[in-house]
Amino acid sequence: MNKYLQYAIGPLLSVILSLLTGGVLIALIGQNPVDVYTRLFVDTLGNTYGIGQVLFKATPLILTGLSVAFAFRAGLFNIGAEGQLTIGAFASAWAGFTFTSLPWIALIPLCILTGFLAGAFWAAIAGFLKARFGSHEVINTIMLNFIALALVSYLVNNVYLVPATIHTPEISPHPELVRFDIMTGLFKGSPFNTSFIIAIAACFIMYYVIQKTPFGYKIKTLGYNKNAAEYARMNTGRLTVLSMAIAGGFAGIGGLNFVNGYKHYFELGFSDNAGYVGIAVALIARNNPFAIIFVAIFFGILEYGGLTVNTMVPKEIVTILQGVVILLIITLTEIFDRKFKLKKV
């Protein structure tokens, strides 16, 4: 069998089986699965508004997916994209409502940079703890997610609150990332915006850094075999912190979509679990930055599609599909990797 097909069969089968599982559930409550799925796909992909909504939902997932994938390449498991995304989004908003006098040409890069650095800093904590004390990044990133949430909740509720809301003040109009419907007239009414271009650019950057630079080579070495990296006199501690920081930076700019592109403020609970779904995105895409785009769009279809079928079945059907697809994928890839003797990516 073709090598690519061997890698793809697990993910593809998982998607099909999860849709079947969802179909059984839909049938159980007396609806026709074919009708529900038809509506789900037609309403999401059958018109430009739906497509705009899907791409809007996919944008942060691309970035959190990249975040998890980048850390994976260095042999690190970043469960912390959710926290890095939250901290980054808040930082972007903070820059946007603090430096209001700056023109867009300075403020847009500043929002991107603060988001990236804040996410990078948050992830680097876990990288440092691993490098310095050997404590495992999985538990630490999970803990940091909750700390990030509490910290940002404190900042929003006690420091930067707009009364009677759960969001910060609005950012200045200068760093708004323009919506495609305003710019082109396409995707009418959907919040799909130019942060999507930033997300796509990030995919190319990750590809370039990992595949074409000496730094990327070191990261891959660390990921494949830490002992080999140490034997080659690489500074593995520094590499660990840096890899986590870059991964966190990707997640950190995932908030631009909401803050600069859509609502123009930071709001608690904006993320919709994008950080956790990003883990699934990276896994299904097998850490390939370009495959991540398509997998993120698939999850975008599910997320927006839930809203379109809500009159027929509870929209939570898509949350169930997300959970099932992840469980199937980790199980099936394990089975097929053994069967075809594939190496881990």
- Tokens found for residue 51: 């497509």
Residue 157 touching other proteins (CB under 8 A)? yes
- Tokens found for residue 103: 């023109």
- CA 3 vs. chain centroid, Å, equals 27
User: 164: alpha, beta or left, given left = phi > 0 and alpha = psi -120 to 50?
Assistant: left
Judged by CB under 8 A, the stretch of 37-45, 140-148, 165-173, 215-223 that binds other proteins is 140-148
- Amino acid (1-letter code) at residue 163: P
Residue 142 touching other proteins (CB under 8 A)? yes
Restricting to residues 278-297, which ones interact with other proteins according to CB under 8 A? Answer: 279-280, 283
* Residue from 53, 67, 140, 195 binding other proteins (CB under 8 A): 140
Residue 330 touching other proteins (CB under 8 A)? yes
- The CA distance from 247 to 243, in Å, is 6
3-state secondary structure (DSSP) of residue 17: helix
* Residue from 25, 200, 312, 342 binding other proteins (CB under 8 A): 25
Residue 335 touching other proteins (CB under 8 A)? yes
Closer to other proteins at the Cβ: 66 or 108?
A: 66
Residue 217 touching other proteins (CB under 8 A)? no
H helix runs in 29-165, sequence order? 33-45, 48-73, 81-98, 104-133, 137-154
Give the residue among 204, 89, 87, 70 at the shortest CA–CA distance from 127. Answer: 70
* Number of neighbouring beta carbons within 10 Å of residue 146: 11
Residue 154 touching other proteins (CB under 8 A)? yes
* Residue 329 C-beta: closest distance to other proteins, Å: 9
Residue 232 touching other proteins (CB under 8 A)? no
Residue 276 touching other proteins (CB under 8 A)? yes
Residue 117 touching other proteins (CB under 8 A)? no
Judged by CB under 8 A, the stretch of 58-66, 152-160, 207-215, 224-232 that binds other proteins is 152-160
* Residue from 1, 133, 214, 227 binding other proteins (CB under 8 A): 133
Q: How far is CA 235 from CA 138, 231, 248, 274, in A?
A: 21, 10, 20, 32
* Number of neighbouring beta carbons within 10 Å of residue 335: 11
Residue 123 touching other proteins (CB under 8 A)? no
* Residue from 7, 245, 326, 336 binding other proteins (CB under 8 A): 326
State the DSSP H helix or E strand holding residue 190, giving kind and residue range, or none if neither. Answer: none
* Residue from 6, 23, 319, 345 binding other proteins (CB under 8 A): 319
Task: Tell the residue number behind the tokens 């000496």, with chain if given.
Answer: 214
Size of the residue set binding other proteins (CB under 8 A) = 47
Sign of CA dihedral 9, 12, 18, 22: negative
- Amino acid (1-letter code) at residue 7: Y
Closer to other proteins at the Cβ: 52 or 278?
A: 278
Residue 191 · residue 52 · CB < 8 Å: yes
Residues at the site binding other proteins, with contacts judged by CB under 8 A: 25, 29, 77, 79, 129, 132-133, 135-136, 138-140, 142-144, 146-147, 150-151, 153-154, 157-158, 273, 276-277, 279-280, 283, 314-324, 326-327, 330-331, 333-335
